Structure 1
Amino acid sequence: MRKLIESPLPRAVPHLCGALALPSRHRTAPLPWGQASVFNSGIESPAVAFVVNSTRVRDLSGFRRRCQRAAAARGWEPFFLETTLADRGLGLTRDAVRARARLVFSAGGDGTVRACAQALAGTGVPLAILPMGTANLAARALGVPSRLGAALATGFGGEERRIDLAVADGMPFAAMAGIGLDAAVVDATPPACKAGLGWLAYAGTGAARLRGRPSWFTVRLDGGEPLTMRARSVVAGNAGLVPGGFTLLPEARLDDGVLDVAILAPADLLGWIRVAYRVTTGSRYDDRHLTRHRARLIEITADTELPREVDGEVITPGSSLTISLNQSSLTVRVPSSSPVRRAPDPVRGERSRHDQDNSKDQAAHQVGG
């Protein structure tokens, strides 16, 4: 049997060992890559990397032990990479791929998932998710369980699916990106509030900003005629959920080869109440307060610089945001009962079906929505 020492893997070890070192207060045992037996025993266990945002883990030592036990029970050799402000997971995941990891777990929130997904896109190395963030939008859309044990079981024993990745101004993302109010809320929500209140922290921050002034937006879909309107926010989703598990984009699927767009334009408190009703009930009904579209290329421009966000990570403010799609570019591990499924192609009538749903819903929502 070929030994690991004969592969290119050891050349990556010096760099990995530095990246893997945890703060002394968290160390409970040498990390697997530091154990000589990994390289000299002649046993080739497949390597699995855990890219961990330790700020999201209350008991890091206990977390590592549970992951190690789950990996060992299934014949995997685990190693752990802890994110930093300088590297939120992109470089660490690339290191893991170069070190021939055959599976990568993202342990953190949507930002950690986004960084890992960017590094793994096109490699064929599957991504598994241990959801530990505030919103966990990608994990929710994929049906990944929130409990650690069940999420580990999904990562090691679930099905593999290929999903799309979107790209916002060159920045790949899995779930959602936007410009305007949504990004302003993300930027203004204190981390301490998110840690203590979860998605309710976003709700509280958002409620305080509902009466802000709208901006003029121009949205062009797949190079078509521009849509011009006054709105508070334009959001493009590869997944359709917003924090709290509510559905802003009911047609969105991670593997359907198309992006969904929401234009939020309430002018007053009553308009926001109507939007909230539709989001909390999963309604497909559109009007001047909330309109939704589907496209593979979305070009958004505004009349002023606005906050922007990608998968819950605030990026540099700007007056434009261009979003495209890389179809079937990422392999993920999901439960066998995952909601990820193929939706009809908009070129083959999805728009007309959406319009029919709007017509059916309109009568039911004239009072409530």
Structure 2
Amino acid sequence: MKFAAVLNRDGGTLRTTDLDAFRDRMHLALKNGGHSVDIDVVAGSDIVKALDNVSSRHGVDVVLAGGGDGTISAAAARLMGKKKALAILPAGTMNLFARGLGIPQTLDAALQSFAEGEVAAVDIATANGRPFVHQFSIGMHARMVQLRQRMEFGSRLGKIRASAKAAWATINNPPAMAVTLTVGEAEIVARTTGIGVTNNLFGEGHLPFADNPAGGVLGIYVTMARQRTELLKFFFNMARGKWRDNEHVEIHQTNRAVLKIQSSRKWRAVIDGELTNLDRETVIEIHPGALNVLVPRHTAWAKAA
């Protein structure tokens, strides 16, 4: 296969990686698998332009994207509904979508899996037409990201520490949002501290990622926790993947949901880790099998899907 790689030198672990040496290892690993690759290393400000270029290039079978959540989400958006496949180099902080695909979590192991990999179709979701591969969220998550962006960090561990500080600040001053959420034929009116809508249901017993990225449903997680002890339990359970152990979280699944904000206040949302303005009404839909991805050969969920 013909690969075209775009590496965000400012994103995730790539900012602290010897990219010249890594490019050599990438060429060798893919060549040994019978493939060829062109590699572009670009600044974060140029990532969208570079992805536009390679996703429209003739003769390319696989677009390999390396960077954080924003880079991967931008690449997936450009490949949605196309024959070209996306290969995800797990260079972000948590790499949750890559984990759900079964991609090894070290850069060199991921390269080896690409050399021997196979293409599978997975789901992608949209919020008012904007694609996302992991999660659309409002409330606490958006506040955490806003607070974290005001902090300085230069590494993966620094980002984790900043996230912990932002989470503690959010627990001590949680948002409260009046919303109407339409799930199928049901209409839910609630005052919530947070809602996450995910591209397939999160699995249990691990970090929040989908066990089956081709499951064909949105997961909807509505958080009713307001007191500090309730919020601490929520964050603790979330980190352990114990969603169903928390009495303050309602879980729904559907293929389409409509979220309406019952307030004139301007709120923010987070889409795959990136802050964006929140519309008064957001239509969220899942698109089964609309994204081709390169995954390790004999991946269990790909065979079961």
- Residue 2 of structure 2 corresponds to which residue in structure 1? 47
CA distance 1:196–1:282, shift in 2 (3 Å) = closer
Q: Give the TM-score, by structure 1 length.
A: 0.72
The answer to whether structure 1 residue 175 and structure 2 residue 130 are counterparts is: no
2:293 maps to 332
1:116 aligns to what?
Answer: 75
Residues 325-348 of structure 1: per-residue CA shift (max 9 Å, x gap): 11101111222464635899xxxx
Q: CA deviation at 1:322?
A: 2.2
Cα deviation for residue 260 of structure 1 reads 0.2
| TM-score normalized with structure 2 length | 0.86
Which secondary structure does the structure 2 equivalent of 1:161 belong to? strand
SS at 2:226 equivalent: coil
Match for residue 246 of structure 1 among 207, 227, 233: 207
Q: Which has the larger radius of gyration?
A: 1
**Alpha carbons of 1:209 and 1:237: their partners in 2 closer, same or farther (altered >3 Å)?**
same
Indicate how the Cα distance of structure 1 residues 239 and 203 shifts in structure 2: closer, same or farther if over 3 A, else same: farther
> For residues 1-369 of structure 1, what are the structure 2 equivalents within 5 Å?
46-56=1-11, 57=14, 58-89=17-48, 92-189=51-148, 190=151, 192=153, 195-210=156-171, 211-222=173-184, 224-239=185-200, 246-247=207-208, 253-285=212-244, 289-302=248-261, 303=263, 304-336=265-297, 338=299, 340=301
More strand by share: 2
**How much is the aligned-residue C-alpha RMSD, in angstroms?**
2.6
Query: By how many angstroms is 1:201 displaced?
Result: 2.9
**Runs of 5+ in structure 2 lacking a partner?**
none
Contact 1:179 1:234 in 2 (8 A): yes
SS at match of 2:301: coil
| 3-state SS of paired residue (1:101) | coil
Following TM superposition, by how much is the alpha carbon of 1:160 offset from its aligned partner in structure 2, in angstroms? 2.1
- Quote the offset at 1:193 in angstroms: 5.9
Counterpart CA distance in 2 for 1:87 and 1:262 is 34
Post-superposition offset of 1:310: 0.7
Question: Structure 1 142/252 Cα, relative in aligned 2: closer, same or farther at 3 Å?
Answer: closer
Verify the 8 A CA contact 2:200 2:217 in the aligned structure 1.
no
Counterparts of 1:312 and 1:207, CA distance in 2: 18
Alpha-carbon shift at residue 199 of structure 1 (Å) = 3.4
Structure 1 270/125 Cα, relative in aligned 2: closer, same or farther at 3 Å?
same
Number of equivalenced pairs: 294
CA offset at residue 83 of structure 1? 4.3
Amino acid of the structure 2 residue aligned with 1:158:
G
Deviations 1:231-276 (A, max 9, x none): 111111115569xx623x7x76310111101111211012113323
How far is the alpha carbon of 1:219 from its aligned partner? 0.7
For residue 100 of structure 2, give the secondary structure of its aligned residue in structure 1: helix
Deviating beyond 6 angstroms after TM superposition, the runs of 4 or more aligned structure 1 residues are none
Whole-Å separation in 2 of the counterparts to 1:281 and 1:92 = 34
| Identity value in percent | 26
Aligned partners of 2:59, 2:303: CA distance in 1, in Å? 31
Query: What is the distance in 2 between the residues matched to 1:239 and 1:135?
Result: 17
Q: 1:239 to 1:155 in 2, by over 3 A?
A: farther
Distance 1:287 1:342 in 2: 32
